[in-house]
Amino acid sequence: MLANKLKATQSTVARWETGERLPPMDEIMRLANILDCAPAWLAAMYGDSPGDPKLYESAIPVFSDYSEIDQYLAIGPANVTKLNLIENYRFIFQDYGSESHSRFAIIIPDNGMSPKYNQGDVAVIDTSIEPAIGNTALVYIDKSQSLLLRKYKITSAPFEELTYELISENPDWPTITVNDTSICKVLGVMIECRSRSYP
């Protein structure tokens, strides 16, 4: 019985079935898993019907500070099932077919990259991409305990110890020169930004 699988009452499930009430998103995700369909199909009869690829497979977690990211990376993203992810993390969906174990999203913490990217926007980060000149990288600076999204520029020659700059798009914010890579950890490269789309 569906109600038993969801650990919900039969009357609650009956209200969903008749359209009297809509289930909350976490219940839609569980229903989609049980019925083998996309959550969007359950919520609005839009998208992939039962038997098609599941939307929740493309879910990635959304973080707002470094401690959340550090904890997630310490667990090992590949060890977090999609059902565990949707039950225990804030999340967004990315495109189908994208490998999601190396990705997470952050709520941009400052206006250092405005007007291009603004505080509160959601940036999707890929940890498997090594930053190259011109990429927008997510970094964590130990000393100031700052999580920053900045343009990455290598300033050292190939045979020298790595030195790079973290450049702001906002002219009111300084460029940061990193001479000691032990105090600044590059977490990944931004591959997408969504403008203030996360509540």
Q: Which has more confidence, 128 or 1?
A: 128
Beta strand 59-63 with 103-107 is parallel
32 domain-assigned: yes
C-alpha dihedral (176, 181, 183, 185), degrees to nearest 10:
90
Q: Which has more confidence, 74 or 53?
A: 74
Domain housing 8: 2-53
* Residue 36 near residue 79 (C-beta atoms within 8 A): no
62 domain-assigned: no
Say how many domains are in the chain: 1
Phi, psi of 78, deg, nearest 5:
-65, -20
Q: Specify the CATH number for the domain of residue 28.
A: 1.10.260
pLDDT tens digits for range 21-57: 777 777 777 777 777 676 766 665 555 555 555 556 6
pLDDT tens digits for range 77-134: 878 877 677 677 888 877 655 566 789 999 999 999 999 999 999 999 999 999 999 9
